[in-house]
Amino acid sequence: LAQFLTYKAHLNNSEVIEVSAQYTSQRCPKCETIKKSNRNHDLHEYHCTNCDYRSNDDRLGAMNIQLLGMQYISGQEQPKFELATNA
C-alpha cells in the first residue's frame, strides 16, 4: 500500500510520509484526552467522556493522522501522541 500511495503521490508532485498511528483513534481532537474506553469498536463511534466530543472513530483517526502530518511538515522529526502518565 505504501508503495502504491508513493507512486500516486509522485504523479501529483506530492510526497507520502509515515507517522505513528498509535492512539490516533483514541485521542480527542478537542481536549486532547487519550482514553481507550472512549472508542466503541462495534458502533465505530468515539465519544469523549471529558468534553463530550463525538465522531466516527475512523474519521477521528484520519483527523489525528492529519495533525501528525502537519507537525512533521512544521519540523517535528517524529511526531506522535503519547499517553499521559500521572507522575
Given a cut of 80, is residue 65 above it in pLDDT? yes
What band does 83 get if pLDDT is binned at 50, 70 and 90? confident
pLDDT score recorded for residue 84: 78
Once rounded to an integer, what is the mean pLDDT over residues 19-48? 94
Q: What average pLDDT does the segment 46-75 reach?
A: 95
Q: Is residue 56 domain-resident?
A: yes
How is residue 37 annotated by DSSP? Answer: G
User: Structurally, how many domains does the chain consist of?
Assistant: 1
Residue 27 and residue 33 in contact, taking contact as beta carbons nearer than 8 Å: yes
Q: Is residue 87 pLDDT above 70, yes or no? A: no
Give pTM, 2 decimals.
Answer: 0.83
Task: Specify if 85 maps to a domain.
Answer: no
58 in a domain, yes or no?
yes
Nearest to 21 by CA among 82, 80, 75: 80
Query: Could you tell me the residue range of the domain that residue 61 belongs to?
Result: 20-73
* Amino acid of residue 54: R
Question: Residue length, the chain?
Answer: 87
- Residue 30 is assigned to a structural domain of this protein: yes
